[in-house]
């Protein structure tokens, strides 16, 4: 039997074991997925091999440590220096990142998206901004403070704060801030956010497990929306494809994982 795991600190809240074990059971894969509470990121590689894992996911705060632990990093993960999926390939640790691709997978039915307003300038925003650039999309970044915007300016993106954001039309607005996670705040003042949403067709929030004020307002204004669970599902589907060496159909994985969200 192959063993997979999620590494994180904390990790008890993670939905990944349920998502992946549901797929293994329903699609008859001889594998099991466990949680590993890891406090010291530098111990990732030795823990991975001491548990004889075939693969793993990595969550907060170890995604950069996972990048450093790999013998080889492939694809998009190499560009952003962040790894969320590990594969044991004949004793070598191979790293991937399925977060941003998972987001693209989640919004694949959003048609004709060309312009995006990305709210927030943290780690999630960095990964998505790079992905959007790769996809040839036009990105504007809005953050409440200026400090973290320099990274995005260096990427050549239009960057705004509350002081200079204009009410322009975007195809998609994405909330990557943690506003609304533990409180009822919007990711930008309502007098800025509402007119922007009124001109927009699609919105997405990376927060999952609750309807944030941002998503609630988006729905009230008639936008087509995705929440963070869709992104979580997307990264999980792509990670499971890697775990099962592309032997399963992506749509079958998605269907079973989606059902696991109901438990």
Q: Is the peptide bond before 10 cis (omega within 30 degrees of 0)?
A: yes
For ligand NDP, give the closer residue by CB, 99 or 101. 99
Among 17, 99, 165, 239, binds ligand NDP (CB under 6 A): 99
Catalytic status, residue 131: no
Indicate if the alpha-carbon torsion angle 230, 18, 22, 247 is positive or negative.
positive
Tell me which residue has tokens 């050549």: 156
115 binds ligand NDP (CB under 6 A): no
Residue of 38, 53, 206, 256 that binds ligand NDP (CB under 6 A)? 206
CA dihedral for 108, 204, 114, 64, sign (positive or negative): negative
Binding flag, residue 143, ligand NDP (CB under 6 A): yes
Q: Are 70 and 93 in contact (CB under 8 A)?
A: yes
The residue (of 110 and 208) whose beta carbon lies closer to ligand NDP is 208
Question: Which of 63, 126, 131, 160 is an active site residue?
Answer: 63
Tokens, residue 144: 């409440």
The residue among 88 and 179 lying less far from ligand NDP, judged by its C-beta, is: 179
Nearer of residues 87 and 125 to ligand NDP, judged by Cβ: 125
Binding part of the chain for ligand NDP, among 28-36, 67-75, 175-183, 216-224 by CB under 6 A, reads 175-183
Is residue 55 close enough to count as binding ligand NDP by CB under 6 A?
no
Asked if 235 interacts with ligand NDP (CB under 6 A), we say yes
CB atoms near residue 85 (< 10 Å): 27
Closest CA to 7 of 56, 69, 54, 40: 56
Angle at 131 between CA 70 and CA 16, to 5 degrees: 55
- 124 lies in the binding site for ligand NDP (CB under 6 A): yes
What's the residue count for the chain? 263
Compute CA 247 distance to the chain's CA centroid, rounded to the nearest angstrom.
Answer: 23
> Which residues form the interface with ligand NDP (CB under 6 A)?
99, 120-125, 143-145, 148, 176-179, 181, 185, 187, 206-208, 228, 231-232, 235
């Amino acid at each position: 039997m192959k063993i997979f795991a999620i590494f994180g600190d904390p990790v008890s809240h993670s939905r990944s074991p349920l998502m992946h074990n549901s797929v293994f059971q329903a699609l008859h894969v001889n594998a099991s997925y466990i949680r590993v509470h890891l406090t010291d990121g530098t111990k990732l590689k030795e823990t991975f091999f001491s548990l004889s894992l075939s693969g793993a996911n990595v969550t907060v705060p170890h995604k950069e440590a996972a990048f450093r632990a790999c013998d080889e990093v492939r694809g998009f993960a190499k560009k952003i220096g962040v790894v969320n999926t590990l594969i044991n390939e004949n004793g070598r640790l191979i790293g991937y990142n399925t977060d941003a691709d998972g987001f693209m997978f989640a919004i694949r039915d959003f048609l004709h998206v060309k312009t995006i307003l990305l709210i927030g300038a943290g780690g999630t925003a960095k990964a998505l901004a790079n992905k959007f650039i790769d996809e040839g999309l036009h990105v504007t970044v809005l953050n409440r403070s200026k400090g973290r915007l320099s990274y995005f300016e260096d990427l050549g993106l239009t960057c705004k704060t509350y002081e200079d954001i204009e009410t322009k039309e975007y195809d998609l607005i994405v909330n990557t801030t943690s506003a609304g996670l533990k409180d009822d705040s919007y990711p930008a003042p309502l007098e800025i956010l509402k007119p922007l949403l009124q001109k927009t067709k699609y919105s997405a929030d990376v927060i999952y497990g609750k309807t944030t004020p941002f998503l609630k307002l988006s729905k009230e204004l008639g936008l087509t929306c995705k929440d963070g669970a869709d992104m979580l599902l997307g990264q999980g589907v792509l990670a499971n494809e890697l775990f099962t060496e592309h032997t399963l159909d992506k749509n079958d994985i998605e269907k079973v994982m989606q059902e696991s969200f109901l438990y």
